[in-house]
Structure 1
Amino acid sequence: MPAANSGTGRKRSPEQSPDDLQTASPSRRLKAPVFDGTGKKSKDLTLDELVFGAEVKPHLVHEAVRAELSADRAGTRAVKSRGLVAGGRSKAWRQKGTGRARAGTTRAPHWTGGGAAFAVRTRFGGKVNRKERKAAFRAALSAHADEGTFAVLADDSFEEPSTRDAATLVEAWGKQRPLIVVAHEDQEAIVKSFRNLDGVPRRSSGRARCW
Structure 2
Amino acid sequence: MKLTVVNSNGDNVGEVTVSDTVFDAAMNRSLVHQAMVIYQGNKRQGTHSTKTRAQVSGGGRKPWIQKHTGRARQGSIRSPQWRHGGIAFGPHPRSYRKSIPTRMRRQAVRCVLSEKVRSGSLICIDNFDIVDGKTKSMVQILKNLGITGSALVITPEPNKDLIQAAHNIDKIWTLPINQLNANDLLRRQTVLITQSAAEQAAIIWDAVPTRGGRRLENGQNPVDLASETVEQTGEEETPRPRRRRTTTKPTEAE
TM-score range, shorter chain: 0.5 to 0.7
* Preserved contact between residue 158 and residue 189 of structure 1 (Cα < 8 Å): no
Q: Deviations over 1:144-169 (max 9, x none)?
A: 11222112232353352121121121
- The yes-or-no answer on 1:121 pairing with 2:92 is yes
Q: Deviations over 1:77-102 (max 9, x none)?
A: 2125589x6xxxxxxxxxxxxxxxxx
Structure 1 vs Structure 2 CA RMSD: 3.8
When residues 186 and 137 of structure 1 are mapped into structure 2, their CA distance, relative to the original with a 3 A threshold, is closer
Secondary structure in 1 matching 2:143? helix
When residues 127 and 160 of structure 1 are mapped into structure 2, their CA distance, relative to the original with a 3 A threshold, is same
Query: For this pair of structures, how many residues does the alignment match?
Result: 171
The amino acid of 1:56's aligned partner reads M
Aligned to 2:28: 57
Partners of 2:121 and 2:129 in 1: CA distance: 19
Partners of 1:156 and 1:116 in 2: CA distance: 56
Where do 5+ consecutive residues of structure 1 fail to align?
1-29, 86-107
Partners of 1:32 and 1:128 in 2: CA distance: 33
- TM-score w.r.t. the length of structure 1 is 0.62
Partners of 1:210 and 1:53 in 2: CA distance: 15
- The yes-or-no answer on 1:35 pairing with 2:6 is yes
Partners of 1:82 and 1:134 in 2: CA distance: 47
Partners of 1:47 and 1:70 in 2: CA distance: 32
* Preserved contact between residue 32 and residue 148 of structure 1 (Cα < 8 Å): no
Partners of 1:207 and 1:59 in 2: CA distance: 22
- The yes-or-no answer on 1:190 pairing with 2:142 is no
Partners of 1:75 and 1:127 in 2: CA distance: 13
In the TM superposition, residue 122 of structure 1 has moved relative to its aligned partner by: 5.8
- What is the percentage of aligned positions where both structures have the same residue? 23
Partners of 1:177 and 1:45 in 2: CA distance: 25
Where do 5+ consecutive residues of structure 2 fail to align?
56-78, 184-254
Between structure 1 and structure 2, the one with the greater Rg is 2
- TM-score w.r.t. the length of structure 2 is 0.53
* Preserved contact between residue 158 and residue 175 of structure 2 (Cα < 8 Å): no
Partners of 1:118 and 1:52 in 2: CA distance: 47
Partners of 1:53 and 1:181 in 2: CA distance: 20
